[in-house]
Each structure stands twice: as C-alpha cells, then as structure tokens.
Structure 1
C-alpha cells in the first residue's frame, strides 16, 4: 500500500508539473511567433531552458541524495510557480532584446524546475520497487514516463487553447494557481521513505565510472537531439504557416497546438506499452533506433520532394513518435537498471544531464536548420542524429 501511495503521489506531482511545462512552451512559442519573432530568435527563447537543464541535472542527483527526494520534488514544483508568475511581468513596451533576455531567464528557471522534478520522480520509482524486479520496474517506469508525456501533450493543447481563449497573462496566472493547489496536496501525501538523505554524499560522486551509464547517456543525448531538431521550432512554425494558408491565424495556431498535443499524447501512449514490445536490452535498443533513423530519412525525402503533402508528412511524424517512444522508454528503464546501489539519484541525474544536452543541441539546430533549409533540412539532420544515437547504444556492454 505504501509503495502504491508513493507511486501515486510522485506520478501526480510529475503530471501536474508537465501539464504546465507543455502549456508554457506552447504559450511562449505561439505568442512570440504572433509578435513576429523569426525562427532562430524563437529557438533562442528556449536555449537557457536547456542550458539550465544541463547544469541542474549535473547537481540534481547529488541534491536529492543529500537533502532527500521529497525536498527536491517540492522545490521543483515551487520554482515552476515562481517562473509562471514572473513571466506575467513581461512588458510589451520593452525592446526586442530586453524581451528575449527576460524570457530566456524565466525559461531558464523553468528548466531548473523541470529537471529537479524529473530527477526526483524517476529516482523515486527505483527506490519504491524492491530490487530484483526488473520486469516490474520496466512496466512502472514506462507507465510513469508514458503518462507524463501524454499529460505534457495535453499541456500543448491547453497552452494553445488558453492563448486563444483568455490571453497570455491570464493563462499564466491560471496555471500558477492550479500548480500551487497541487503542490499543497502533494506535500500531504508523499511517503516518509522519500525524505531519506545522505549527508556524506559528495559532488564528485555525480560522475559515473560505469561505462554502461556513460554510453547510454551519450545515446540519450543524440536521441533527444534527433527529436527536438524538428519538434521545437521547425514543426510548429511550418505547420502554422501551412494551415494559415487556408484559415485565419488564431485557428491555425489552435490546430497547430492540437496536433502537437496529439503527437505527445500518442507518443506517451505508445511509451507506456513499450514493455509489451520486447525486453529492455541494449541489443533491442539498437534495432529500434535504426528503425527511427530509417523513418526520419524517409520523411526528410518526402518533405523535400513534396513540401505541400501536409497529411503525409504529419502521418509520418506520428510514426516517428511511435518508434521514438519505444526508444525513450527503453532508455528510461536501462538507466534505472544500470544505476548503482546507493547512487541511483546521481546516475539518473547524470543521464538526464545528457538528455538536456541533447535537447539544447536539438533546440539550437531546430531554429538554425529551419531558417536555412526548412522542414526537410531539420528532418535530415534528425536522421543523422538518430544514427549517432544508434552507434552509442550499440557500444553498450552488459557489464560495467
């Protein structure tokens, strides 16, 4: 009962955070696109978010070990509330440069909040399940990660809907109030086991000496770069432009948010089912990432040869989501399976530092490749990054 209660509390906290995270990303992207920001500038808005993620994940595992998972989780939720409230202070009279810097800083705080929450949530699952139950661990991790992504997808839709329905600032205040209510409830339900801390943990222990953890982290970096290179800036800008050719701008934004929400929800649904598609092994991971590279290369060719084939491209991106979901779920299981006894939070934090580095790489490349070569170049770059991820997975050995 305690295990289920702890899992439910951690999952609820993670869901609440990711709902606001997805909504905030869509709010910022579409709001500033409507104000006329070019693609590369839009990418810059999210760069500090990813940079902060790298730094936070490097220390989040150590912080969680030293101060307890519960403290880390609560801190992440509280900081997200502060970030949402701060963004309401954006002044339309500011210059472009000042606005960009301000949003970057606030997004950076949100990035810190996200990775504190993520590291604490994922590590908690390992601690809540008794050792030796690999299949159960894979199922629970896949369920948490899959449901989280489905909720984040709903956040994309929520962000677009709130922007069109009540406007930028009221949307931010409503999300901050909702997350504050969830935070109060979570504090009351977190189990005592997540407050355990180790005052002897040192920062030097963050860096893993396990080759499996390091190679998997490298694979994770390239995997998420392969997604974000087309997802963060290229897809929403391309799709909003494609739809706006036949309808009013606000409706095009709404449908763009709707598709991105659908993509994330679908991706999360497949991710939760990943354990049914085969065992969680590095060999299986090599096959799935090879499939991802093939799908993405085909999509790049289609986008180049038939740029107006919107339905075909969108269908292909859903297929990318399904294959990507299995890769992501398998990685999430493997890092917990590889994590050493007594250093779970630090191995998980190091791994998600690589994840954030991949997102940073993908975010920067998304604006750049779309500005230079449109969606086809973004997708071609994605295929190359998927190949790099596959090479890293293939190098993983079963022993440390």
Structure 2
C-alpha cells in the first residue's frame, strides 16, 4: 500500500513518524524529570533549573540547525537529533547517586539539541515536499504535523507518569531508549538523501533572518510561548501536586489529556480559521486569536483570587486556554512555513524556532521563580502581559490573505 503512494507522501510519512516517536519520548522524559525530582524534595525553582540547559541549547540549536540543514540536508539533521536523544536518555541510566542537578542538566542539554534539530527538520521538510502553489495543502500538512505532535507529546506525559508509577525512573528511561534505537535505524535506512539541501552553500553569517515578516512573526512567537510556559511547565504540575494532593499518576494523566486535546484542536485549526472559505490567515486573524487568548489567564487569575472553587476555575480555564492556544500555535506554524523561502527553508524556520526556544527558556525560568516567590496567580498575570504583547506585534504582520490553492 505504501509503495503506491507518491515519493513526497512517503517521505512526509517517514518525517512525521520520526517526529511522533521522538516527541513521545520527549514528553515522557519531561514528565519523568519533573515528577521524579519533585518527589525527591526539589523546589519549583530547582526543577526549572534542571531544564535550563535544555532551553538554552534549544535556542542555539535552532539558530545553527537551520544553517546545517540547508548545507547537509534535513535527513541528516533529523537523524542526528534522534541519535542525540538516545545518548541523552542513556546518560540518565547511571546509578541514582550520580543523578546530580548538573548531570541531569547536561543530559537535558543534549535532549534540547535533539528536540530542536528534529522539530526544525520536520517543519522545514513540509515546505520542500508540498508543491509551491498549494498553499491550502501546506496549511493542512503543517496543522496535521503540529497537532499530531502535540497529541503525542500529551501521550508522552501520560506515558511518563505511568512508567514512573509502574517501573520507576531508570527502567522507564531504558524502555524509551531501546524503542528509539529502532526508530533511528529505520530512519537511517528510509529517509531520503539531501532532503531540503540548499542549491547554494549558505554562509554562516546568513543565519539571521533578513525578512521583515519572519522577524515580526519570530518576536510574536517568543512572547506566545513564554506566555504558555511561564505557568504551564513548572508552576502548574507543582501547584496541582502541592495544593490538591494529586499524585504522579493523576498529574501526568491530566496533563496528557490536556495536551492531546490541544493537539487535536491544532489539527483542526485550518477549518476554524478560514479553510472552509478557501482562505489562509493574515495579520488580522493572528491578532484576533492572540487577544482572545490573552483574556484567559487573566480570568483564571481573578477566579483563583476570588472564587471558593479554585480547582474548578483552574481546570475550566485550562481547557479554554488549551483550545485557543492551539489555534494560535497552528496559525504561527503555518505562517512561518508560508513566509520561508523555498531554497534553504530550514534557515528561516530555524531562526523562527530560535525565538520559540527563547520564549520557552524565559517562560521556564520565570515559571519556577515567580511561582516559588509569588504563586500561580502571578504566573498567570505575567502570561496575560506576554500575550498582550504578542497581539500588538501581530498587528505588524502582512495582512495578505491569499486564496488557498487546491484547498
């Protein structure tokens, strides 16, 4: 059956499959680290610091990874990412006494490099595989890849909590490492050579984008993801555990369901934002959804401050935030692939995801520090501020709304 598909579709399926498997282990690893070290008595800021190198090296990797992808081909950068994730997991198989904060931070650094090489490669590959004039198909393929990735990330959260409860930290790591080895070997065998390789050899000095719309979109993306992670990455799971006595299994399962639903909404974003009217979005649509999202953390913060039912307020707000954030994220993911140049697409996408990683870094650090010093409500107000800035930046995007060919 697969042999009857076109080469571009087969390559898209392999890229997507790689991305899915990687994301599953990445989500599980994050949940394992957060819950395991919280169980050892680490505070919220200490846990945030465990991910410091993960986010810092994600920034660097996105900036350099796009350049490497344009020179070497996206197949190579994707396979390097898979290999580095295996090494990162193997580093956590050492005796428990070796699992110091610095050692885990180093393992997370490798994992951060791996994650962003893999993501940059997957997102860039779509631009190469979809014909230039099929903007509607491009939006759909980007939404499917992005949405399915986040659904798998949610399943990874679930898997991490489940494995930690059933087999413990190190056996869970071993299971994921062995599974990923098989995925890596298959990818080395099947993924096409020189996918996305630039016709020219881009210079290192060209890693920074010279495109106005990509610079604007990158700035909006940084604040968008900082707004999510400032309360979601560390503050939320610790708050659920400490305030409502949720155990590892409950926290992991809830966050898994949330992220899975978030991924499903991402996949449907083209239909929500203009697919049925044969259009793809521009600045007005991006600004509207950013403003709508900004209202949600503000409402949650007010509800936690004045309501007698904080858990109900938090869970309801999380559902609304997840749905609207998913649409914002999918819009941005489409726009960067649409704005990126066809030749050397990975350089534009890499620069954009550098901003994405910078937002995650800022959000992660603030999540631990603000929660520890001021509580979850303060994290939510910072999220509101970041999202308001996102909406202001989005107003400067091009407001072209081209007809979606072959939609």
If the TM-score is normalised by the length of the shorter chain, which range does it land in? over 0.9
Please, which of 64, 82, 102 is the counterpart of residue 77 of structure 1? 82
CA deviations 1:348-392 (Å, max 9, x no partner) are 000000000000010001001111221111111111110111111
Q: CA RMSD in A?
A: 1.4
Give SS of 2:96's match: coil
1:192 offset after TM fit, Å?
A: 4.0
Distance 1:308 1:40, change over 3 A: farther
Gaps of 5+ in 2: 1-5, 274-279, 401-407
- Give me the TM-score of the superposition, normalised by structure 2: 0.93
1:185 offset after TM fit, Å?
A: 1.7
Give SS of 2:343's match: coil
CA deviations 1:128-163 (Å, max 9, x no partner) are 001011111000000000000000100001001101
Q: Match for residue 57 of structure 2?
A: 52
1:189 offset after TM fit, Å?
A: 2.4
- For the 8 Å contact 2:198–2:344, the answer to whether it is kept is no
The aligned runs of 1:312-323 (5 Å cut-off) are: 312-323=313-324
Task: Report which stretch shifted further, 181-190 or 9-18.
Answer: 181-190
Q: Match for residue 21 of structure 1?
A: 26
1:300 offset after TM fit, Å?
A: 1.1
The aligned runs of 1:53-202 (5 Å cut-off) are: 53-89=58-94, 91-92=96-97, 99-192=100-193, 194=195, 196=197, 198=199, 200-202=201-203
1:308 offset after TM fit, Å?
A: 4.8
1:340 offset after TM fit, Å?
A: 1.7
Q: Match for residue 229 of structure 2?
A: 228
Q: How many Å separate the matches in 1 of 2:52 and 2:291?
A: 28
The aligned runs of 1:261-300 (5 Å cut-off) are: 261-278=256-273, 279-300=280-301
Residues 1:383 and 2:384 aligned together: yes
- Give me the TM-score of the superposition, normalised by structure 1: 0.94
Count of residues paired in the alignment: 389
- For the 8 Å contact 2:227–2:387, the answer to whether it is kept is yes
Q: Match for residue 361 of structure 1?
A: 362
CA deviations 1:147-203 (Å, max 9, x no partner) are 000001000010011011000000001000001111112223223461745562211
Q: How many Å separate the matches in 2 of 1:193 and 1:136?
A: 23
Q: How many Å separate the matches in 1 of 2:198 and 2:292?
A: 42
- For the 8 Å contact 1:267–1:321, the answer to whether it is kept is yes
Q: How many Å separate the matches in 2 of 1:64 and 1:58?
A: 11
Q: How many Å separate the matches in 2 of 1:202 and 1:307?
A: 59
Q: How many Å separate the matches in 2 of 1:158 and 1:356?
A: 24
1:101 offset after TM fit, Å?
A: 1.0
Q: Match for residue 277 of structure 2?
A: none
Task: Report which stretch shifted further, 274-283 or 195-204.
Answer: 195-204
- For the 8 Å contact 2:70–2:201, the answer to whether it is kept is no
Q: How many Å separate the matches in 2 of 1:38 and 1:90?
A: 22
Q: Match for residue 3 of structure 2?
A: none
Distance 1:198 1:104, change over 3 A: farther
